[in-house]
Structure formats: structure tokens, C-alpha cells
Amino acid sequence: MVAGLLGSKVGMTQIYDAAGAEVPVTVVKVGPCAVLQVRTVAKDGYEAVQLGFGAKPRRLCSRSESGHVAGVLSGLVEKSVLSGGDGAFRFVREFRTEGGGAQPAVGDVLTAGEFAEVAHVDVTGVSKGRGFAGVMKRHNFGGVCASHGVKKVHRSGGSTGQSTDPGKVFKGTKMPGRYGGKRATVRRMKVVSVDADRNLLLIRGAVPGFSGGYVMVRPTNCY
């Protein structure tokens, strides 16, 4: 079984199952992903496979990025993995493979067909950044009542500290601050359908990030 694939979030839609029930799904384009490097215990101290997704033009690549794929560049162009660019990849990540089966080789191309027999996946991405937000938006506070005597503080967080003893605000108190824009993982999401021809996964529910954002999809180990 493949350790995981890289992809991008296309967007959300809805389909209907065999019973006619409406199912909300997220369409994720996974692959084609090129195997750029295979980590081994003897050389690197751990086992992993490094994948690249999303072609990047040569003019936007650094010398290190171009050199990293130089050995397999011609083969990847022939396999249409770099059809949208001729330099490197926009999204490169590693998947640990300790205790897994046969390792892929450098230059191999992995597609959505690898998930044909996978029922549930874990999806990792960067959540939508919402900027600096107040406590009602960030922590679902109820706000201050709108009764007589309350003036211009309806969305405030209320009291945050104590009296003389201990006379401080404890660490971790829910307060306004930066909301979103962090790495997030949603576990054990159901794979509704796999379109191997177009490298699309239909996953039930919402995955982290905005439409067009990069995600990591791996078979779940949560049962």
C-alpha cells in the first residue's frame, strides 16, 4: 500500500448515494506524484519516500531545486508529470514508510489509482487564515448581553484575570488573536469515490485549506 500522495483541493460539491441520500464531498486532485528520493535506514537513519507534486517553471526554480530532480527530469517529462513546467515541483513532502511493503524507486510516478482499495484517509493541509479575530469568532464565545447598562462591549470577552490573589492572567486563557493559517489534519475521512483516469478523490466532508491549496493524503491508521 502506498504511504501517501500529494495533491490539491479542488473544491466541495455534493453527490447522491445508492439510497438517494445527499453526501457532501470534497474533490481532491492527487497525483501524478513523482518519487524524487527514497530514504533508507543505512543512509539516512529512517525509511521514507519523498514525493513531488505540481510542475514549476525553470525560471522560478533555484539551482538546488533544479539539481534535485536533474537525474529524473527527462523521464518525468516523458511521463507528463512535469507537463506544466520544466524545472522542479511546487510541493515536495516526505512520507514515512517504516514497516511498509516494497519501496517505490526514484523516478516512479504514483497516481490516484493507488487509493483504489483504501476506505479511509487522513488529510493534512493548512487551514484557512482568518487574520486577527475576536473571541466570538475565534472561540465561539457568546458575547455580553444587550440589556440595560451594557454599552459598546457586546462582543468583548469579559473578565480575563482575578483579584489580588493570584493577580495575573493564566497562560492559555482564550483571548483574541491570530485565527487559522495553521497545519491541520482531519483523520479517518471516508473515500466515497476514486477517479483514477483524472486523478481525483471524492472524500466525504471538508478537508483543511482553501480551494487550490496543497494537501497530503495518506491511508489512515485510526480505526
Q: Quick one: average pLDDT of 37-58? A: 88
Of 162 and 29, more confident? 29
Question: Do 67 and 119 fall into the same domain?
Answer: yes
- pLDDT digit string (tens) for 118-166? 999 999 999 999 999 999 999 999 988 888 888 888 999 888 888 888 8
Phi, psi of 22 (to 5 degrees): -75, 130
User: 188 lies in which domain range?
Assistant: 5-129+182-219
pLDDT at 208: 94
Question: Do 96 and 188 fall into the same domain?
Answer: yes
Question: Do 109 and 147 fall into the same domain?
Answer: no
pLDDT at 146: 86
Question: Do 82 and 119 fall into the same domain?
Answer: yes
- How many domains does one find in the chain? 2
pLDDT at 148: 87
- pLDDT digit string (tens) for 13-26? 999 988 899 999 99
Question: Do 124 and 69 fall into the same domain?
Answer: yes
What is the overall mean pLDDT for the chain?
87
Contacts of 20 (CB under 8 A, 6+ apart): none
* Contact (CB, 8 A) for 211 and 125: no
Question: Do 58 and 165 fall into the same domain?
Answer: no
CA distances from 223 to 61, 146, 188, 194, 219 (A): 41, 46, 8, 21, 11
Question: Do 12 and 112 fall into the same domain?
Answer: yes
* CATH number of the domain residue 64 falls in: 2.40.30.10
Question: Do 24 and 110 fall into the same domain?
Answer: yes
- pLDDT digit string (tens) for 80-125? 666 655 678 889 999 998 766 677 888 888 889 888 889 999 999 9
Question: Do 163 and 206 fall into the same domain?
Answer: no
Q: Is the pLDDT of residue 188 over 90?
A: yes
Q: Is residue 119 helix, strand or coil?
A: coil
Question: Do 116 and 160 fall into the same domain?
Answer: no
**Biggest alpha carbon distance in the chain?**
74
Question: Do 65 and 100 fall into the same domain?
Answer: yes
Q: Quick one: average pLDDT of 196-204? A: 92
Question: Do 35 and 89 fall into the same domain?
Answer: yes
Q: Please state the pTM of the whole predicted model.
A: 0.83
